[in-house]
Structure formats: C-alpha cells, structure tokens
Structure 1
C-alpha cells in the first residue's frame, strides 16, 4: 500500500494544552486509499492527532500536508476531509434522506446532484426503504450507516473516524467492522480511524500506528505488529504475550545467544534489539506454546519446560492454561484449540504440566 504515494504527511507535529503535551514530534505518512488506524490507550494523543488532521485543532509545532498542500491554517470547512464521530451527531428532527443530504444542501448542490448522490449512498449503505424514517427510530447500526453516508456525500479525499463503532454492542460492532472495510474498499477513499480496540484495528487496517504518551511506538501492518513487535509495550498492547528475562551473551551473524533462568542457554536466529546491553526481554505468544507430558524432552528446534497449573479456563473453541514456571515461578499463558486438547482435559490446578514452543517463535524485545 505504501509505494511513495503519500496522501497525508505529518511532519514533526506536536500539540500542547497549557503545560500538558499531548503530541510529541509525530512523523507519519499515509498512502492514498489506505485504511490507516491510530491505536493506543486513552490519553495517548490519537484523538488530538485526528482533530489536527481535520482542522479542529491547530498543531503547536510541525506541519500537516494533505494531497501536497500544507493545511495548518486551513479551517475544517475548507479542507477536503470529513469526520464521523462516535456519537453519530445526526439531526434528530430530520429523516434519513435529509440527514444524508444536509451537507449537499448547505453547499447548494443541484437537485439532480443531491438526488443521485443520496440515492447512491442509500444503496451503498443498505438503507433502502428507510429514506423517510426519522433517525431517532433507527437502530445503532443504521444510525452509524447514516452518519457514514452523510460524511461521504461531500466526496471527501480523507474520511476521519473517531471511534465510530464504540457505542455498538459486540455482535453489531463485529458486523459493522466488516461493512466499514467493504465500504472503504468500494469508495477508495483514505480512511484514518481512531480506536483503542486492538482487535478492531487489526481487523480493519492496512497499517496501524501504535501511540503511547504522545509518541508513535511502531507503524506497521497488523500482521507485523502482532508477530514482530519492536518493544515490550507494543507486544503487551497487541494481544496477550508471555515475557521472560534473559541475559545477552553474544550477537553475531544474525544469531543471538541468551542465557535464561527458565530455559538455560538459547540460540535464536534473530538479531539482538539495538538497545540491548546485558539484559533483555524474551517473548512468545500463548497460542505458540503447546502443552506436553510432564518430563518430555524437547524436540529438535523447540524449547521445553515445566510448570505448575495455576488456572484453567474453558472458552468454547479454546482453553486457557495458566502455569507458574518450575524454575522462576514466572507466569506462562497457553491457548489450546479444543479440537486438540486431550492434554488439557487431563490437567488440574496444582498439577505439573510440560510445555514447549519453537525456538523460532521466541521474540527478543527492547
């Protein structure tokens, strides 16, 4: 998706509210037609950055460039962007048709243009038959479709979405995620999406920027963020991960040797983190760990150990096993698909279980 076609460039953007600095030197490029998400915990600066893109806030420093034009001083109504809010912000006294066409009416579009645009969006958003219904009588998902249609009616180059699915229940939210991604692919507009929900960002996005404390920790595809996080913070925020302490012994030729109190000497085909000096963190995802018979020897290419079962949890299609490692007492989470959980069914809290994982799945983190 990123092929030098930078539709949006954010260069050295900072934002201060009095003594509080919400954004600290953000540099970011977003490609035309990309579904790009800003992900992070509450207070990390993602909504401030979205408002700066939309012109609702001015940067304290740095530049915002959209389609080659610096827009720092351009007000929202003169930017070719539009925004969708979590609260929908629909007009309660208007019906679906009038809500979608509100911006076109303000722009004094011709009746023929208004009709063609609104009817096209009603079809796109699957709102046929609801044109004359008051928006207060719509479901949450229908209201969200109307809000999207109203934002798209003005044909923005960039659509900014501030946690637009946050008010929906889980089932409807999952359905709207699929619809939102399909709509974005059909219209081909650049979407910049703010969320604190990791699964939502992973499901929707071409790329994701993870923010902590006003800074970007990593920008990457969802797959790389999950499989190749660059720091402990990112690894812990994206999904669940097991962390272990290690001591760096050597790093040569793309291989790193680490001494672990839990696993002994480990050689990993991965360079050491650039900041590593002595101590580092090792990590493995719970689903990459297999439950084994206690005392079983490690197969070639795998790292093995034992632990005491501290918790068992059945979740339908999978089971969660929590262990305390035999050597250090460090916690280890294991996720086991229930189609292959015969080993799990024989476990009880307080018993000893073996486990193993592939050496190539071990991550070395800053």
Structure 2
C-alpha cells in the first residue's frame, strides 16, 4: 500500500472483535485513520472496492516452523527469518513467532541470536521467538528427535532469561518431565510465555505448573496427555483452568472438527483457544516434500508426515484454519477471526492495557475464504 490516503469500502470490516458492515476504513501513511459509515465517503477519496471481501487485522501466528521452502532449524539466521516471514505475509500473516523445533543447545542459542538480530533490524513480521523444546517428554515427542530431548539446566535457563529481556515476545514449550516448577516460575517472572506441550503429565502436575506461571498449551490435543474419565490430563487442565490459553491446529487432520467443537464449548475463560498453523517449509510453495534434520517429510492430501506416518507439522495457513472453524465446527466468523488475530496478539503483548490489534497491518480475506493477502501495513 502507498502512503497516499485510501479508503476501503464494499465489504465487512473486522476490528479485532466485531464484523462491521456498511462501514469504510480510511488509511493514510499505511495506518488506519478512521472507520466511518460508507455514506460518508467523499467523491474525492481514493476508494478500493472490497467486492464483498473482508478487511481484517493481519493474522498473528505463534507457531511457524518454516515457509518459503526453508526451515528455521536448517539455518537459524535473520536471513532465514526474513524469507519465512515473507512467505507467510503472502498468506495473510503479518506477525509470526518463528519456531525452533527441538535441537542442540548450540542451535537453540543461534536461533535466539537470529531472532534478536531480526527484531533489531526490523524484519517485517518477526514478533519474537518460540522455542518448542528441547525440554519435552520422549513419550510425547511426536516428530521431535528423541536424541535431542533433554532436561533444562541452569545454562539453558540463563539463555532463555537473557532472550526474554531482549525480545518483544518469547514463548517456550516445555514438558513437566524435563523442567522444574522453579524454572517455570523464573521464566514466567521474566516475561516468558511458558507453554506446556509434548507431555504425558497428569492433571495435578499440569495445574502445579500453571500455579508456577505456565499460561499456555501447545497444539491442543496433539502430543499431550488426554482427557480421560479418571485422569483429565493436560487437555483437562487447559479446558478447566481459565488462566490457560491454547494453540490449536484447525486443519481437520490434527483434531477432528467435533473434538474442536466440544473443546470450544467447554473452554473456561478468560484464557482462550487461538489458531496456529504449525507451518513447515512447504508453506507458500508448491513443494511436495522437504527434509527436517535429514529426515524426509512428505506433503500429500493436506498432511505432512514422516516416513512412518507420524504427523510432522501442518500443511495449513490461517485462512484455511478460519474456514475449518466456521464451516466444519460452526464457530461464528468474528470468533474465528479473533482466534487468528486479536487473541494471539493479546497473549504476546507485554502491555496488556494497550490496544492490541489495530487495522494498521491489514489483510484482505476472500469472501469465500479461499485466501488472504496483506493490503495495508503501518
């Protein structure tokens, strides 16, 4: 979008909470100036007709492993982050937490350095960092390399606390099997978004982690202890504890739509379920396969799998996830859009009193939910 004033009209406008109809959005210098009734648009204004498409804040994706043909793990550098972020911006995601999957201590530190460099350089779309491991449970490792999973030590903790002081947002996925509650408390007090995942921990153990400061769960239902009749597990802790939020891979592959429906109804607030893509290198490309640390991952029929059939990330963008929520689960459109925009934005915002999602990084979503693209960025 140019710096010239422009007005968008002719379609619903999502403001982060509600869909506004019969309204127009005026921009100048790439930033929203006002929402006004369409009847007030002047004849001298430069107008873009949305033709029924939705104008929305850009998507915020807190779990992005790769895109544009590359994986963050393969080359944890600011250059890689720029390429990944660019690929996702073309899909409507204007803010990401690039995500490092379980790797060596050296690779983890390189990822932290890369994220810090990218943020300082103002790489568009890089909002911080998500470390998914290596302090997970082997019993729920999923596609993570078991050889690299290990307990958190004091040096690991020190690097995380340093990163939290520098990055605008830092999420760390851990399993109670390989971290202690004092470590969780130290991270939480430093501003880290501690997310429980890849764990077989009991309900009581998970609740103790929440008491210590954990506030999130990674890809709800996947790679975690399940909701049972006598043991509620991490799923039960997420749904019953209002302090917890949870990412969800809504591709109708990782989680059945009816399971999503039940969770959506059961979730206690104020914590909420939000959408993540768990995207891999193929995002934004036509690639049919790629490698993760030497392991072949195939893309077929909307799935990404290792050779043994284990799901390895998702072949998903957030417009597809919104479509699954609205068309297969029955979630109202404003709630579905909030789950991809304002809800994750609020989770990573350090200023809880500030407006969290303005129409300054804006996307146009096709009326049939076939895709989205960035159209206005401040």
Question: Normalising by the residue count of structure 2, what TM-score does the alignment of the two structures yield?
Answer: 0.30
**Higher Cα radius of gyration:** 1
Question: Normalising by the residue count of structure 1, what TM-score does the alignment of the two structures yield?
Answer: 0.30
More strand by percentage: 1
Higher RCO (CA 8 Å, separation ≥ 6 residues): 2
